[in-house]
Structure 1
Amino acid sequence: MPLNLPFINRRDPKPEAETEIDTTNIPKHIAIIMDGNGRWAKDKGLPRIAGHKEGMDVVKKVVRHASDLGVEVLTLYAFSTENWKRPKKEVDFLMKLPVDFLQTYLPELVENNIRVQTIGTKDLLPKHTQKAVDEAIHRTENNSGMVLNFALNYGSRNEIVEVTRMLASKVEEGELAADSITEETFNSYLYTSHLCEPDLLIRTSGEQRLSNFLLWQLAYAEFWFTEVYWPSFTEYTLNEAIINYQNRKRRYGGV
C-alpha cells in the first residue's frame, strides 16, 4: 500500500515535498557508501573527525528508518581496506566509532530485533573494535529482523582474490573439478553468500564510483547517487532513493 512520505535532494535536505512510497516494493537489500563526512565538516569549519562523529549519529536514524520500512538487509561501507592510508589520528578515531556506536545503540538494536553482522577482514582491526563488534554479533544473533551488515576493513577485489585462491586450492587438492565451478560456486565463498544480493546501491556526496565495494554482488543492483553529504543524509533522502528505485524497470538482461 502507498505511504505518504516527503523527499528532496540537496546537500542539507529538509522535508518540503510529498510523494508516495510503495511499501509493497521496498528493496530487500540496500547497500550504502557513506561518503562526504570530511567535506561536510570542512564546509562548517570543523575538523574531519567531527564529520565522522555526525555521520555515525546519522547511521542510527537510517538504520531505524530502513527497519521500519521493511528492508531486510542494510549494508554500510564503514571502513575500506584503502582507508588505512588516511592519517593515523583519523584512522584511530574511525576505529573507535564502532565501539561508541555499538555500546550506546546495542540495547535498541536488540529491542528492535535487528541482527548485526560484518563483512571484511575483521581480525586486522584493533582489539577493542573487534571486541565491540563480536559482542554486538553475539547479542543479536538470534534476532530475526533486519540484518545490519557493516563492511569493516572490506575491499571487494581482495574478497574476489581470496575466493579465487580458495577455489584454486581445492582444485589443486582434488576436492573440486575446475570445470564444475559456476557463478553459484563462486558466490558461495563470498562474505555475503548467506545474504540476498543488493537491489539498491546508494552513494552520497556526489561521487559516482563504487570504490572497491561489492563489485561482484552489485552486478544487477540499481545505482542512486546524491550530492547530499552523509552527515546531512536523512530519512527523507532514503525515501527519495527508494522512490527512484521503485520507478525503474529491472530487466536483468531481458526485455
Structure 2
Amino acid sequence: MKRWLRQRVDAAYEQLLTREISGAPTHVAVIQDGNRRYARRKGEDETAGHRAGARTTEQVLEWCQDIGVEELTLYAFSTENFERPPEEREALFDLLEEKLREFADADRVHENEVRIRALGAVDQLPERVRDAVDYAERRTRGYDEFVLNIALAYGGRSQLLEAARGVAADVEAGSIDPDEIDVETIERRLYDDPVRDVDLIIRTGGDERTSNFLPWHANGNEAAVFFCTPYWPEFSKTDFLRGIRTYESREESWRRTRARRALALLGAVGDAELPEARSIVTRFRDSLPTAERPDEDDLETIESGTAAAD
C-alpha cells in the first residue's frame, strides 16, 4: 500500500477508535520492548533504538493525558538489564540521566503538574542516574494531577520479597501482630508513596508475557493486558487506542460477570447477604444484555422468593 494511502487509512482508523472509547483506565503500565530489534532492523546500533523509543515515550505521556489516564508506569530498566554488555548498559544510563533531567525541566511537565517518581532498587544505579532521579523527583514533588512512574532497576519478585522480609522482621520485633497484617501492610513496604492498582498493561515487540512487572498491583487487580507486535519506537496512537479499547472490553466483561453472579446469588443467599448482592446487581445491571437485565419488579420477586424459602 502506498505511504500516503496508509497514512489516510491509519488516520481514519484512529478517529474511529477515538469515537468508540468512552472511558479511560486510571493507571496504565507499559513494557517498552523492541528498541534493540528496531535498531538492528534499521542497521543502527542499540543506542539509536533506545533514543527512538524515548521519543515514543514522550508521545505516550501526551496521549495518556489527552484521554484522562491519571498514572503511567514505564518499565525503563529491569534488574535483568544489568546483564547487558557494558557499553550498551552505560549508553542506557546516559540516556536515562539525560531524559530524567529533560523531563524534569520540560514546560509541559510543569504546566500539566506531572509528578515524576522512580520505582525499584535505585540505589543499585550509577551515581549520575541516582542524582538525575533525585533531581526529577524534587522538581515535581508538589504535583498531583498526573503521576509518571519510571521503573528503574526494577524486579517485581524482588520488591515483594523485600516487603515480606520487612513484615517478618516487624513481627519478630513485636511491632506487628500477625493477625493485623493486611493488604495495606504490604503496600506500605513496596513503595514510599502509594501506587494505584494497574488497570492496563501494554507490551510492545510481539512477546506475550508481563515479565515480572508490577505483580502486586496488576495481578491483584486482574489488569487487562494488551500485547502488540510493533517495536516500541514504532508504537502509534492507533496501537495505544487499541490497548485502551482492550481495557474497556475487559471492564465490560468483568461488570457483566459480576452482575450475573450477584443476580444468581439473590435467589440463593440469606437475609444478611441480600443487600450486598442487590447492590451489585443494581450497580452493574446495565452491563447485562437487554434480555437478561432485571427491572425493579424482577428484583423484588427474586428477593421475595428467597425470603419465603427461608
Query: If the length of structure 2 is used for normalisation, what is the TM-score?
Result: 0.74
The structure 2 residue matched to 1:222, chosen from 224, 242, 258, is 224
Match in the other structure for 1:27: 25
Q: Answer yes or no: is the 8 Å Cα contact 1:117–1:149 preserved in 2.
A: yes
1:123 matched to 2:123? The reply is yes
Q: Distance in 2 between matches of 1:32 and 1:238?
A: 10
The letter for the 2-side match of 1:162 is E
Match in the other structure for 1:15: 11
1:75 matched to 2:73? The reply is yes
Alignment CA distance shift 1:53-1:14 (3 Å)? farther
Aligned residues: 244
Q: Answer yes or no: is the 8 Å Cα contact 2:31–2:203 preserved in 1.
A: yes
Name segments (4+ residues, structure 1) moved above 3 Å: 13-16, 20-24, 252-255
Match in the other structure for 1:163: 163
Alignment CA distance shift 1:210-1:192 (3 Å)? farther
1:200 matched to 2:200? The reply is yes
Alignment CA distance shift 1:134-1:141 (3 Å)? same
Q: Distance in 2 between matches of 1:14 and 1:115?
A: 32
Alignment CA distance shift 1:192-1:226 (3 Å)? farther
CA RMSD of aligned residues (A): 2.1
Query: Deviation at 1:184?
Result: 3.1
Counterpart secondary structure, 1:32: strand
Query: Deviation at 1:205?
Result: 0.5
Query: Deviation at 1:38?
Result: 0.7
The structure 1 residue matched to 2:62, chosen from 34, 57, 64, is 64
Match in the other structure for 2:212: 212
Q: Answer yes or no: is the 8 Å Cα contact 1:119–1:192 preserved in 2.
A: no
Q: Distance in 2 between matches of 1:151 and 1:25?
A: 26
Q: Answer yes or no: is the 8 Å Cα contact 2:27–2:199 preserved in 1.
A: yes
Greater shift in the superposed pair: 57-66 or 242-251: 242-251
Higher helix share: 2
Q: Deviations along 1:174-208, whole A, 9 cap, x unmatched?
A: 01112322233222322276121010000001111
Q: Answer yes or no: is the 8 Å Cα contact 2:17–2:238 preserved in 1.
A: no
Higher strand share: 1
Match in the other structure for 1:43: 41
Match in the other structure for 2:132: 132
The letter for the 2-side match of 1:19 is L
Counterpart secondary structure, 2:56: helix
Q: Distance in 2 between matches of 1:83 and 1:114?
A: 27
Larger radius of gyration: 2
Match in the other structure for 2:106: 107
Alignment CA distance shift 1:55-1:209 (3 Å)? same
Query: Deviation at 1:238?
Result: 1.1
**Aligned sequence identity (%):** 37
Q: Distance in 2 between matches of 1:153 and 1:247?
A: 33
Alignment CA distance shift 1:41-1:15 (3 Å)? farther
Query: Deviation at 1:111?
Result: 2.5
Q: Answer yes or no: is the 8 Å Cα contact 2:97–2:132 preserved in 1.
A: yes
The letter for the 1-side match of 2:232 is W
Q: Answer yes or no: is the 8 Å Cα contact 1:23–1:69 preserved in 2.
A: no
Q: Answer yes or no: is the 8 Å Cα contact 1:74–1:147 preserved in 2.
A: yes
Mark the runs of 5 or more structure 2 residues left unpaired by the alignment: 1-5, 262-310
Q: Answer yes or no: is the 8 Å Cα contact 2:224–2:246 preserved in 1.
A: no
Q: Deviations along 1:116-151, whole A, 9 cap, x unmatched?
A: 011101111111111111111111111222101000
Match in the other structure for 1:93: 91
Counterpart secondary structure, 1:123: helix
